[in-house]
C-alpha cells in the first residue's frame, strides 16, 4: 500500500467515524471498488482506530480527567460502561453473522439507506420537540441503554455508529448536542475493546515483525487522528444548527448507488487479503 492510499483511508476513517455517514461502510466500499489491500491489513485497521481514539481523548480531555479524578461523583464513566453492554452482547451472540457482513457487502447499500432513515427521523424528532416546547431530559441510564442498543446495530458496515447512537439519544429525550457529545465519548470504550482483541491477534500471528508497510501505516494513523479531531469539533459546533437531512440525503443517494453497483456486478467484495484479515479480526481464526 502506498503512503497516499494509506492517507486516503486514514482521512475517510477520521472523517466518517464522527460524521453520521459510516466509516466502515465507506472503507469497505472504497477497498472493494479499487481492490485496495495490504500485507498487514489487520495492524493497519488497529492503528486507524488508534488515530480516532486519540482524537476523542484530546477533544474531551477535561471530561476524561474529571471522570478519573471523581469516578463516584461523575456518573459519566458508569453510563459509558452501561452503554457499552449492548454492543458486547451483540458481538457475543451474533459474532458469526457480524463476521459475514463485515467481509461481504451484500447488505451494504441497504445499511446506508437505513442510516439515512435514522438521520431523517432524528431531525424530525428534534424539530418536533422544539416546536412543542418539550424539556430535554438529562443523560441517564435509560438514555445510555438506548444509545448502547443503537451502537450495537451500528456494528453493521454502512450503519453509522455516530448517526445511530445520536438517534438513540434523541429518541430517548436528549437534545442533539448532548446526544452527540455522549455518542463521541462512547466510541472510546468500543475502540479500546476492538484494539485489545485485534492487537492480540496481531501479536499471535507475528504481525509486528518485518513490517514493510510501516511508513504507510503510521501516515494513515496520523491522518485519521487529525481528521477525526477536526470532524468532532465540526460536529459539536454544527449539530444544534445544521440539518441532519443533508447527511441523510448523502447516505441515501450513496445507498442507491451501491445497490445499483451490486445489481450490475460492479461491486462485489473486498480483496481476499482484506477479507482474510477482517475475518481473523472477528473470528480469531
> Mind listing the pLDDT tens digit for each residue in 73-88?
889 999 999 999 999 9
Concatenated DSSP letters for 123-145? HHHHHHHHHHTPPPPPP-HHHHH
Q: What is the pLDDT of residue 276?
A: 43
Contact 220, 7 (CB under 8 A): yes
Q: Number of structural domains, the chain?
A: 1
Give CA–CA dist 81/79, Å, rounded.
Answer: 5
Give the confidence band of 194 by pLDDT, cuts at 50, 70, 90.
confident
Q: What is the pLDDT of residue 197?
A: 72
- Per-residue pLDDT averaged across 238-260, rounded? 94
Q: What is the pLDDT of residue 135?
A: 84
* Domain extent for 27: 3-283
pTM of the full predicted structure?
A: 0.88
- Per-residue pLDDT averaged across 197-206, rounded? 69
Q: What is the pLDDT of residue 31?
A: 83
The whole-chain average pLDDT of the chain stands at 87
Which residue, chain included where needed, has cell 494513515? Answer: 220
Query: In whole angstroms, how far apart are CA 7 and each of 32, 41, 64, 141?
Result: 17, 14, 28, 39
Give the confidence band of 202 by pLDDT, cuts at 50, 70, 90.
low
Chain-centroid distance, C-alpha 135: 29
Residues written for the chain = 285
> Mind listing the pLDDT tens digit for each residue in 38-74?
556 667 888 898 999 999 999 999 999 999 899 888 8
Give the confidence band of 227 by pLDDT, cuts at 50, 70, 90.
very high
**In the predicted structure, residue 284 carries a pLDDT above the cut 60:** no
- Per-residue pLDDT averaged across 267-275, rounded? 57
**In the predicted structure, residue 208 carries a pLDDT above the cut 70:** no
> Mind listing the pLDDT tens digit for each residue in 127-159?
999 898 888 899 999 999 999 999 999 999 999
**In the predicted structure, residue 279 carries a pLDDT above the cut 60:** no
Amino acid at each position: 500500500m502506498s503512503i497516499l492510499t494509506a492517507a486516503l483511508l486514514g482521512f475517510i476513517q477520521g472523517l466518517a467515524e464522527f460524521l453520521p455517514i459510516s466509516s466502515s461502510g465507506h472503507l469497505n466500499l472504497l477497498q472493494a471498488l479499487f481492490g485496495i489491500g495490504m500485507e498487514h491489513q489487520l495492524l493497519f485497521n488497529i492503528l486507524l482506530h488508534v488515530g480516532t481514539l486519540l482524537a476523542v481523548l484530546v477533544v474531551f480531555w477535561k471530561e476524561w480527567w474529571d471522570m478519573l479524578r471523581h469516578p463516584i461523583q461523575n456518573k459519566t464513566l458508569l453510563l459509558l460502561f452501561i452503554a457499552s453492554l449492548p454492543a458486547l452482547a451483540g458481538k457475543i451472540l451474533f459474532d458469526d453473522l457480524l463476521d459475514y457482513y463485515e467481509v461481504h457487502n451484500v447488505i451494504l447499500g441497504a445499511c446506508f439507506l437505513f442510516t439515512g432513515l435514522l438521520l431523517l427521523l432524528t431531525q424530525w424528532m428534534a424539530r418536533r420537540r422544539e416546536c412543542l416546547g418539550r424539556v430535554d431530559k438529562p443523560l441517564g441510564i435509560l438514555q445510555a441503554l438506548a444509545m448502547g442498543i443503537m451502537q450495537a446495530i451500528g456494528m453493521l458496515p454502512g450503519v453509522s455508529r455516530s448517526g445511530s447512537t445520536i438517534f438513540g439519544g434523541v429518541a430517548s429525550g436528549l437534545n442533539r448536542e448532548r446526544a452527540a457529545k455522549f455518542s463521541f465519548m462512547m466510541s472510546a470504550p468500543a475502540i479500546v475493546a476492538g484494539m485489545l482483541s485485534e492487537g492480540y491477534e496481531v501479536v499471535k500471528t507475528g504481525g509486528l515483525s518485518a513490517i514493510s508497510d510501516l511508513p504507510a501505516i503510521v501516515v494513515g494513523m496520523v491522518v485519521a487522528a487529525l481528521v477525526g479531531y477536526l470532524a468532532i469539533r465540526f460536529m459539536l459546533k454544527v449539530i444544534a444548527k445544521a440539518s441532519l437531512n443533508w447527511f441523510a440525503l448523502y447516505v441515501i443517494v450513496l445507498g442507491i448507488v451501491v445497490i445499483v453497483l451490486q445489481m450490475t456486478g460492479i461491486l462485489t467484495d473486498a480483496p481476499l487479503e482484506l477479507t482474510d484479515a477482517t475475518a481473523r479480526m472477528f473470528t480469531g481464526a
